[in-house]
Chains A and B, each alone.
Chain A
Amino acid sequence: MMASSYNAKDEDGHHPGSVGSGGPGAVKSKKPDNTAFKQQRLPAWQPILTAGTVLPAFFMIGLIFIPIGIGLLVTSNNIKEFEIDYTGVDMFSPCFNCSQSYSWNSTSACTCSVPFTLDQPFESNVFMYYGLSNFYQNHRRYVKSRDDSQLNGDKSSLLNPSKECEPYRTSDKKSIAPCGAIANSLFNDTLELFYIHPNGSRIAIHLVKTGIAWWTDKHVKFRNPGENNNNLSIVFQDTSKPVNWRKPVYELDPSDPDNNGFINEDFIVWMRTAALPTFRKLYRIIQKKKDNMTPTLPPGNYSLEVIYSILEKRITKMKTQIKMLRFTVFLRSVYCQIHKLPELSMLKKENILILFFQLQNLTFISKFYLLFFCNYL
């Protein structure tokens, strides 16, 4: 091969032994394909951070977040919440006697009565929650301690629950139904609300106990064994109740077969373990009145009757129905926190709007600062 066979335009890596491209027995060229994919020439979008894109983007984000923050702030201020702590640790609280004298084996339940007053009427549906603090439902061994097959109604798991339920798997040589530590620690305080009428009479407030669990939980995840057999005491006959329960599982709500056994909604709500050590769970719903004029809970004196069972710090909370709940209280403070906001929350709605309006008139620099302050929480 002569030196002259190489020229500037020849970019091929031709094998020196290859003889042109015409011969039928020519050596196949090892040249890689000259496609855009293989030669790293694919068309592409190449964004770079310039002042013209970044600053308007930041500004837009701020502009979007501020109205969201305002919206959340306004909505969350419409939530009315009332909290009653009935743990009874304090010597002068109504439930002090119950909290001192309680033991696991006591047959008679201890009752106590907590009076309270509502200043503002609660409209629309009122949700009644019980809350626990420092109760670690998210402990790893606790979360594992259940048998989902058994709770789904599987017959073989009913009599032979999974090993995860240890040590709450069997008792008296019979399998426990439902097994596990979560079921064993079921919250079974009973709370009742009474309205004390100005003329002295006590009116019991009707509390709805269904519709408190997720639909998928109630209808798919939790199923009673024995399919449609309504006589649950026969279905559960070879099992024993959990150690710390007073009643077996088929007596959780004998009056309503659709709320008895594993599909009891209080039980389902409890089995949905909480994420954090301080939590609340829906207990009852107070339906709004048929005519939309009377508030569900008018202002006045009320009394909470407690049938005490487990000893943790208990809080009963009531909430009006809202669109965005407690979450919004946090979100609004993040989405648009200005120094004055904590004080703003004390103000009435009208004042809040006025203050926001005034803030819009700030100079550009302050707005910029506000923007970054919003963004860099």
Chain B
Amino acid sequence: MKLIGATAIEDKLQDGVAQTIEQLTKAEIKIWVLTGDKQETAENIGYSCNLLREEMNEVFFVAANSPEEVRQELRDARLKMLPDTEEDKFLIPETILGDTPKVVEDENVNGDYGLVINGHSLAFALESNMELEFLRTACMCRTVICCRVTPLQKAQVVELVKKYKKAVTLAIGDGANDVSMIKAAHIGVGISGQEGMQAVLSSDFSFAQFRFLQRLLLVHGRWSYLRMCKFLRYFFYKNFTFTFVHFWYAFFCGFSAQTVYDEGFITLYNLVYTALPVLGMSLFDQDVNAGWSLEYPQLYVPGQLSQYFSKRAFVMCALHSWYSSLVLFFVPYAATYDTARDDGKDGADYQSFALITQTCLTVTVCVQLGLDLSYWTVVNHLFVWGSLGMFFILTFTMYTDGLFQLRPSSFAFIGTARNCLNQPNVWLTVALTAILCVLPVAAYRFFYSQISPTINDKVQYRPAPRPRRTRLTRRSTRRSGYAFSHAHGYGDLVTSGRFLRRHAPARSMGLISTGRSPGFKPTGRSAGYSPVGREQNPKQKVEPTSLQMFRAVKDTSF
């Protein structure tokens, strides 16, 4: 044979991939790789991104040709990781499962393990009698790399995780072969780039570089969760407080369902007086700024554990509202009981009482929002103080003579604002109510942040943040970055028909919103590039799979 030439394709990983993966791993996100590349390419990628590491206890390779062998290899791997696991504790018998799919629990193993499985074996492993075994073994590993995977299998793996784990899945890819995976996951991210726009068009989010995923999750995802939870808690609080006051008043009005407030106030409360401030909070609020969010991925964990809004948080919010409503009713009650104005005239009438209670309520919920807001931009200031100002402006306007002359029955509160709000004891009541409602909350939060600070508190108390870009020192691997394309492709797998669906997969019902978020899959044709590499020993015997050759290199060279 006369050697005419050699072709080589260099396909670099994008910048920042390794660092991104490291940060996401710190944020308790499990990362799996599903690629159509060859096994050695996929391994190279794994090593160059720090998914697979030298320090790992072991990396299991599953590349068998029959179902029994695959099962055996998976079982061996599992027993090596956790020697004393019960055999069938999590394995569902082959008969029908039942309506609700079982959830595979996380199992803690000592040490880091990796799993590399190729598409052929995966075809066996994804069958219904083995999928749980595969899932269980895979979840025990720190990293899972599936190579030679067809697009359909990518989607099947995602669906397997969605079905049996209480987790939110995110799939990220850049090629047309990733579209099915992106659509199958809870969140699909497409990278717009060389491979066309297919992935982008079918995704929920898209950006140009893989490392933007870090910002998407750790900064914007986290802020979004925080804002949503604060919004919900505050919304429930303000409406429960508003409503519970009527409950207390019922005892004093003969249980006749007389409202404490003016009807105009009831209409405008949720519409004008409290709508914009909470909107501003849910648009702009940040507890920790972007730099620190990226620096401390552990801040992501409370969102995974649903700590900010759960049944417990809801109950606490309801209790807080109950207490606030007690204060908001009984302080004005006691203040108007048997009173009169300075000049002796009536000050304890229903309309004055309603106005006092309205004012107390609006001021209190505004102050409470001020306590909740941790990021006061100009817009927030405008919304909060503007809404409070609108309350007073609209109240005075609705109680003027002109509107009364227009429609007497609708604006029957004429003169109340003028006659009631010029009494200093009314303002003292408002101040007292607001302070009584808000001070215990402030004290509680302050004491908790001192006694048992959460990671958010610890980060917040740092001095002014200075986001540093740490250059990730690439751990030296003496692995070669080169791969030889002399092994078979996966045409056999495609033509075998093994990957074809035999039955409709059981899709998970609705979004699973809690738990950790694994299932991150960078794909694409990018391969690892290791600057320091040893040349492959060309004299090695060529084995049917490149795997053996790689192992041989490993054994003799190191």
Give A residues with C-beta under 8 Å from B: 1, 3, 6-8, 10-16, 40, 42-51, 54, 58, 61, 68, 125, 127, 129, 131, 136-143, 147-149, 151-152, 154, 162, 212-217, 220-221, 269, 272-282, 285, 319, 321, 323-328, 330-331, 334-335, 375-377
Contact = CB atoms under 8 A, between A and B. Distances in A.
A51 B209 CA distance: 43
Given A49-B445, A137-B350, A125 B344 contact: yes
B258 A138 contact: yes
A327 B375 contact: no
Contacts of A285: 344
A42 B254 contact: no
A8 B351 contact: no
Nearest to A53: B446
Contact of A213 (B345, B347, B404): B345
A147 B408 CA distance: 9
Nearest to B410: A148
B193 A16 contact: yes
Contacts of B353: 275-276
Given A1-B194, A162-B409, 17 more contacts: A3-B12, A6-B209, A8-B16, A44-B375, A136-B256, A149-B409, A152-B408, A216-B414, A221-B415, A276-B336, A276-B353, A278-B337, A324-B342, A325-B347, A330-B335, A331-B428, A375-B436
Contacts of B375: 44, 46
A211 to B, nearest CB: 8
19 contacts: A1-B194, A10-B208, A13-B192, A42-B379, A46-B374, A138-B254, A139-B258, A152-B408, A162-B409, A212-B344, A216-B418, A216-B419, A282-B344, A282-B345, A285-B344, A326-B339, A327-B347, A331-B428, A375-B435
Contacts of B252: 138, 276-277
Contacts of A281: 346
A320 B209 CA distance: 80
A43 B284 CA distance: 11
Contacts of B405: 152
B345 A214 contact: yes
B103 interface: no
B401 interface: yes
B432 A334 contact: yes
A221 B344 CA distance: 20
B348 A276 contact: yes
Nearest to B207: A13
A216 B425 contact: no
A325 B408 contact: no
Interface size class of B (residues with CB under 8 A): 35 or more
A327 B432 CA distance: 13
Contacts of A215: 415, 419
A217 B415 contact: yes
A221 B414 contact: yes
Contacts of A142: 256
B377 interface: yes
A282 B432 contact: no
A11 B428 CA distance: 56
Interface in B316-370: 331, 333-342, 344-354
A44 B382 CA distance: 13
A13 B189 CA distance: 14
Contacts, number: 208
Interface string B486-515: 000000000000000000000000000000
B2 to A, nearest CB: 32
A363 B288 CA distance: 40
B348 A40 contact: no
Contacts of A272: 346, 349-351
A16 B192 contact: yes
Contacts of B435: 61, 375
Nearest to A324: B425
A318 B265 CA distance: 35
Contacts of B16: 8
A48 B287 CA distance: 10
Contacts of A330: 334-335, 337
Nearest to B415: A216
Interface in B428-465: 428-429, 432, 435-436, 439-440, 442-443, 445-446, 449-450, 460-461
Contacts of A54: 442-443, 446
Q: Which 8 A-B pairs have the closest CB atoms?
A: A216-B415, A275-B353, A148-B408, A140-B258, A140-B256, A127-B344, A42-B377, A13-B208
Interface in B236-287: 252-254, 256-259, 284, 286
Contacts of B408: 148-149, 151-152, 154
Contact of B450 (A10, A47, A51, A61): A51
A335 B350 contact: no
A361 to B, nearest CB: 26
Contact of B415 (A136, A141, A220, A278): A220
Interface string B169-209: 00000000000000000000000111000000000001111
Contacts of A7: 15
A132 to B, nearest CB: 12
Contacts of B10: 3
Among A10, A274, A376, the one with the most B-chain Cβ atoms within 10 Å of its Cβ is A274
Among A7, A142, A214, A269, the one with the most B-chain Cβ atoms within 10 Å of its Cβ is A214
B37 to A, nearest CB: 16
Contact of A276 (B206, B337, B377): B337
A53 B223 CA distance: 26
Contacts of A162: 409
B93 interface: no
A46 B350 contact: no
B340 A127 contact: yes
Contact of A275 (B290, B336, B419, B432): B336
A8 B15 contact: yes
Contact of B340 (A129, A148, A216): A129
A282 B346 contact: yes
B349 A273 contact: yes
B288 to A, nearest CB: 9
Contacts of B409: 147-149, 162
B219 to A, nearest CB: 9
B82 interface: no
B424 interface: yes
Contact of B442 (A49, A139, A143): A49
A82 B349 CA distance: 22
B15 A326 contact: no
A335 B12 CA distance: 71
A49 B12 CA distance: 48
B493 to A, nearest CB: 29
Contacts of A46: 286, 374-376
Contacts of B257: 140
Contacts of A147: 409
Among A7, A13, A212, A324, the one with the most B-chain Cβ atoms within 10 Å of its Cβ is A13
A42 B445 CA distance: 26
A44 B281 CA distance: 12
Interface in B403-426: 404-405, 408-409, 412, 414-415, 418-419, 424-425
Nearest to A334: B432
B378 interface: yes
B338 A61 contact: no
B374 A47 contact: yes
Contacts of B254: 136, 138-139, 277
B425 A327 contact: yes
Nearest to B249: A138
B72 interface: no
Contacts of B445: 49
A12 B208 contact: yes
B14 interface: yes
B76 interface: no
Nearest to A218: B415
B11 interface: yes
B425 A377 contact: no
Contacts of B194: 1, 3, 16
B169 to A, nearest CB: 24
Nearest to B16: A8
